[in-house]
Chain A
């Protein structure tokens, strides 16, 4: 009987420690912020810093947050995408295995393309409807890739003309 009580206490302690450490990690890593809508959450990891800073200066800054363009509008879809991207982003960031210049996945591009059409449907309905451009249709972001968070247009990547006097067009 006595050993059983001891065992339960040890068990309780361990589970408690696990919960406590887990809870602390959750708070320390600002886990709760991922449930909300504040774009600052996407900047918790420095991997997204340039995108976040470019968004601050972008034309869509006053109109759309990260989630508006990068998650579906319905509640279930939104949290499903958050869970999926959240898991993989955490995995790659924890292991450090991700490229310097990150590229959007096809799935996520489709989410964003749907978001363009959600707000701009007055324009896009006519464009999409009248065009036959193969199975994939046309992509808003192929041309309008700067509207969300372009490093160039935000001036984060400053390419100065290097004098323009090296002999061309003299």
Chain B
């Protein structure tokens, strides 16, 4: 009997052995996974490089902070959102521009920009922005280099701490002054990296810090205008403020002051666009003259910080880093996402932490804001084109006073449109303020045409809402 059953029981045995082996294998694998997950929850921080202010290579910092470094390197990714970002466009390398890939040209997308900036370097080459990884190359090889820019431009397109220290013999401010009035190609020789760890972090404590003299001076001037004397940003800013201020070292508007080409943030009167125009008017800044209309013009630059500060997110205490560098899970740790890019590419982490609505719904809300802004921006640019064409066509007919008045309206109307258009959020950072600026800018262009033709000055008869009777009991 035993003999009869032997083959069958043998097969049965083999099957059970195989099953038990597979089970043991699977359970062991799971056990190891559980062990790894438990380890993740601990803080695996090892300092293998003793960092200091002479080490500017982000790779060295990456030895100590591999996860942050890995994310930082991913700023090479090119990914579009509806209105922003960049896709890689192939480019045939030349002697002057060896890049094999560039971003889309905004000038080709909207030729009105060429008219607006006619006679100025921005009408030569103006492209979509790319990730931090490209900042130095994109500046080095832009066709705007034909206009012979000063070294001051490099303050925001390279890792500068070691450059300042080298050129200023350890004095950052002195180094800053030296860089500003160098010729760009001369200054460029000192730069080795795009913005890097050292530009925002203290090498000993890893605390955020400000390393750009222009911001230190700009924020001091701003605070002084608000009654706070001798503001020292590195000593007095809160941690949450620093999570915006480190970005505001560069994502702001500016001009180059005087023959020294000192990089200056025009914040002496406040951060509204009118405050900034008034500050530049007071400093008698004029960057170029429009070849068709003859208007004396100024160029605003990407005022992300200024516009954000007038929006509801700033008012609610949300910093740049909260949305652009949201916490991301790395094993059991949460770290700041150093792949700085659009929150629309990471809605789950950027928005849903506070806004408890589906991802698609939140994305749609943001795009609705941007669609409305984009439409009004187009109307505003049309209004500006009308003003420029009108002045050009009537230069000989209008009186010198009428012409001067119309040109002043162009200076301010164009500044406002350029300001909010150069701001990299398509109106999202402060939706209502962005639309207000466009509305007021269209009015500036309209007033310019009226002034040109000798029409009456604008009348202001707003309803006197102070006369609304107080509510009962007050």
Contact = CB atoms under 8 A, between A and B. Distances in A.
6 contacts: A4-B6, A25-B30, A46-B332, A94-B37, A159-B316, A162-B238
A47 to B, nearest CB: 8
A14 B353 contact: no
A122 interface: no
Interface of B: 2, 6, 9-10, 13, 16-17, 20-21, 23-24, 27-28, 30-31, 33-35, 37, 40-41, 222-223, 226, 228, 238, 240-241, 244, 270-272, 275, 306, 309-310, 314-319, 322, 326-329, 332, 348-349, 352-354, 356, 358
Interface string A132-161: 000000000000010000011000011111
A164 to B, nearest CB: 7
A162 B316 CA distance: 8
A160 B240 contact: yes
A161 B356 CA distance: 21
Contacts, number: 115
A167 B31 contact: no
Contacts of B353: 101, 151, 157
Interface residues of A, number: 40
B16 A100 contact: no
A159 B271 contact: no
A10 B228 CA distance: 82
Contacts of B316: 159, 161
Given A100-B327, A165-B228, 11 more contacts: A4-B6, A14-B20, A21-B31, A28-B35, A29-B31, A94-B33, A160-B240, A160-B317, A166-B222, A167-B270, A167-B275
B70 to A, nearest CB: 16
A158 B226 CA distance: 26
A10 B17 contact: yes
A17 B20 contact: yes
A11 B17 contact: yes
B329 A100 contact: yes
Given A11-B20, A161-B317, A101 B37 contact: no
Contacts of A157: 353-354
B332 A168 contact: no
B41 A46 contact: yes
Contacts of A151: 353
B348 A18 contact: no
Given A14-B24, A15-B20, A94-B33, A166 B349 contact: no
Nearest to A20: B24
Nearest to B309: A166
Dominant SS among interface residues on chain B: helix
Main secondary structure of the interface of A (DSSP, over half): loop
Given A11-B17, A101-B348, A163-B241, A22 B23 contact: yes
Chain A CB within 10 Å, residue with most, of B228, B244, B329: B329
A105 interface: no
Interface in A80-102: 93-94, 99-101
Q: Chain A CB within 10 Å — which of B27, B238, B244, B356 has the most?
A: B27
A168 B315 contact: yes
Given A15-B16, A101-B348, A167 B309 contact: yes
B24 A17 contact: yes
B20 A162 contact: no
B265 to A, nearest CB: 13
Contacts of A18: 20-21, 23-24, 27
Instruction: Determine which residue in A18, A22, A28, A152 has the highest number of CB atoms from chain B within 10 A of its CB, and name it.
Output: A18
A168 B310 contact: yes
Contact of B28 (A21, A101, A166): A21
Nearest to B34: A29
Given A99-B348, A101-B353, A164 B315 contact: yes
Nearest to A163: B241
Contact of A25 (B34, B228, B354): B34
A29 B33 CA distance: 10
In order of increasing CB-CB distance, the 4 nearest A-B pairs are A166-B309, A167-B271, A159-B317, A14-B20
A167 B274 CA distance: 11
A5 B27 CA distance: 27
Contact of A152 (B33, B226, B244, B354): B354
Contacts of B314: 162, 166, 168
Contacts of A11: 13, 16-17, 20
A74 to B, nearest CB: 29
A17 B27 CA distance: 10
B182 to A, nearest CB: 32
A7 B27 CA distance: 23
A64 interface: no
A27 to B, nearest CB: 11
A168 B306 CA distance: 10
A28 B310 CA distance: 53
Contacts of B309: 166-168
A127 interface: no
